[in-house]
Amino acid sequence: MKKILVTGALGQIGSELVIKLRERYGINNVVATDIRKAEGIIAEGPCEVIDVTDANQLYEVAKKYQIDTMMHLAALLSAKAEENPKLAWHINMGGLVNALETARELNLQFFTPSSIGAFGPTTPKDKTPQDTLQRPTTMYGVNKVAGELLADYYYTRFGVDTRGVRFPGLISYVTLPGGGTTDYAVEMYYEAVKNKTYTSYIAEGTYMDMMYMPDALNAIIQLMEANPANLKHRNAFNITAFSAEPEDFASAIKKHIPDFTLEYQVDPVRQKIADSWPNSLDSTAAMEEWGFKAEYDLDKMTSNMLEKIKIKIER
């Protein structure tokens, strides 16, 4: 990777990934693109406004900057996708096809993330295998399964160097999430610091895989730098750090904020999505093929999250 273009660069993952990539490869070698104009630290390097559903825009910007690697993150997330399924298909699939076509035409290395949402209620719930039944019941999940297959197709049919991971719920203090089912975990940390109480829209006892953002960013870079000869799967590697229910987060927080309280007001839409997902993932393939390993468990992440949020709020 020498010249990298990131779509969806102002989202939860992109806003942190752009900074990390610029630190690693040079500020002028990472082009941040989004449908909105960049501000703040992201705007200190090369930026472009791009609608990924416009194939020509994407192609022209990649050509302009002589890109050799594209990281395609632009997408409508799970809860938002259920509110507007047609728009989700237009952005998530139309944008992905355009990005893959640009990668094919310009011979780019290509990354796009899948998700735990690519699984469905008939998938094995515990230690979900790398290769297993995928019959999601959400538009977001359908998009992700189709995206995994499409990325594989562009590799086998056209030789595009496509790579990807299935992200669990991602937790970060930097950029607030935007419409994901696992967003409750991030909200809980902020409310713990601000008000010492949180009302969860996900029900008690609902396990989902989670990961701290630093581990997610490292996984992207590690996979993209991996020797292609070692990749048997290439796209949609299961990765995980820990599996947790809302009470687990509350217990970890109480070690630092003893009077924190957790209540519940379940959102039926997001709960139905959560219930269709696995409790935990088996990341053996990622560990064996490119050395994936998460650094943060729940307690280590909680300590860091609370510390960073306190600093952020006090500014």
Are the folds of 4-167 and 170-210+240-314 the same?
Answer: yes
pLDDT cut 70: percent of the chain above it: 100
Instruction: Please tell me the total number of residues recorded for the chain in this structure.
Output: 315
Average pLDDT on 94-111 reads 98
4-167 sits in which CATH class? alpha beta
Rg of the chain, C-alpha, whole Å: 19
Mean pLDDT of 34-44: 95
CA 304 centroid distance within chain: 20
For all residues of the chain together, what is the average pLDDT? 95
CB contact at 8 A, 70 and 62? yes
105: left (phi over 0), alpha (psi -120 to 50) or beta: alpha
Q: What distance in Å separates the CA atoms of residue 285 and residue 129, rounded to the nearest whole number? A: 9
Residue 127, token pair as written in the block? 């230690």
CA distance 184 to 288: 32
User: Would you say residue 182 has pLDDT above 90?
Assistant: no
Q: What is the CATH number of domain 170-210+240-314?
A: 3.40.50.720
Q: From 96, 90, 178, 80, select the one nearest 138 (Cα to Cα).
A: 80
Among 140, 173, 189, 296, which one carries the catalytic annotation?
A: 140
Has residue 107 got a pLDDT over 80? yes
Which DSSP string corresponds to 213-247? HHHHHHHHHHHHHS-GGG-SS-S-EE--SEEE-HH
Q: Region 16-28: what's the mean pLDDT? A: 97
Nearest to 291 by CA among 203, 199, 226: 226
SS (H, E, C) 80-120: HHHHCHHHHHHHHHHHHHHHHHHHHHHCCEEECCEEHHHCC
Q: CA–CA separation, 277 vs 128, rounded Å?
A: 10
For the stretch 113-128, pLDDT in tens is 999 999 999 999 999 9
Task: Point out which residues pair with 167 in neighbouring strands.
Answer: 115
Q: Is the dihedral of CA 152, 15, 311, 222 positive or negative?
A: positive
The pTM score is: 0.94
* pLDDT value at residue 314: 82
**Domain residue limits, the chain:** 4-167, 170-210+240-314
Contact 184, 246 (CB under 8 A): yes
For the range 39-43, what are the long-range contacts, defined as Cβ-Cβ under 8 Å and sequence gap of 24 or more? 42/9, 42/10, 42/15, 42/18
Phi and psi, residue 97, nearest 5°: -60, -45
pLDDT in tens, 144-179: 999 999 999 999 999 999 999 999 999 999 977 677
**Helical residues (DSSP H) of the chain, grouped into ranges:** 14-25, 55-64, 78-83, 85-89, 95-106, 139-158, 183-195, 213-225, 246-254, 268-275, 284-290, 298-314
65 catalytic per annotation = no
Q: Cβ of 239: how many Cβ atoms within 10 Å?
A: 26
